[in-house]
């Protein structure tokens, strides 16, 4: 198995955990659930491309993961450090690292590449 697939698995798991965590952080209340659903839409959009191992999707999903990292850090600074925020930070880091490493390793594993 190619090493890039392990990095892709980390990215997909981070993406799925981040989607679930958006609803965990939201808690109860209609307005907060709507906000969690809106925060989850970019993650759902990238999940299909990640599952199909598309490098372009991994590239823009890594940039998107920075938004979720920033969100978790703002929650920490605001004093709302809960287990949901911890999970959000860990999952966004996993998504970012998995996407970046997948894109790098996949380009190296392509046949006929001279570099």
The reported pTM is 0.88
CA dihedral sign, ordered 17, 22, 26, 31: negative
Q: What is the pLDDT of residues 38-61, one digit of tens each?
A: 999 999 999 999 999 999 999 999
Mean pLDDT over all residues of the chain?
Answer: 90
Supply angle C-alpha 95, 100, 101, rounded to 5.
100
Alpha-carbon distance 72 to 55, whole Å? 26
The token duo for 5 is 């697939």
How does DSSP assign 75-109, residue by residue?
HHHTT---HHHHHHHHHHHHHHHHHHHHHHHHHHT
């Amino acid at each position: 198995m190619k090493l890039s697939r392990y990095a892709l698995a980390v990215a997909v798991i981070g993406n799925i955990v981040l989607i679930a965590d958006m609803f965990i952080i939201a808690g109860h209340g209609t307005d907060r659930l709507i906000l969690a659903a809106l925060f989850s839409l970019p993650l759902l959009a990238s999940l299909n491309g990640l599952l199909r191992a598309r490098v372009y999707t991994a590239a823009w999903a890594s940039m998107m993961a920075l938004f979720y990292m920033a969100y978790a850090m703002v929650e920490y600074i605001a004093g709302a450090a809960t287990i949901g925020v911890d999970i959000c930070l860990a999952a966004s880091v996993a998504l970012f690292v998995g996407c970046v490493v997948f894109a790098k390793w996949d380009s190296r594993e392509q046949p006929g590449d001279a570099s």
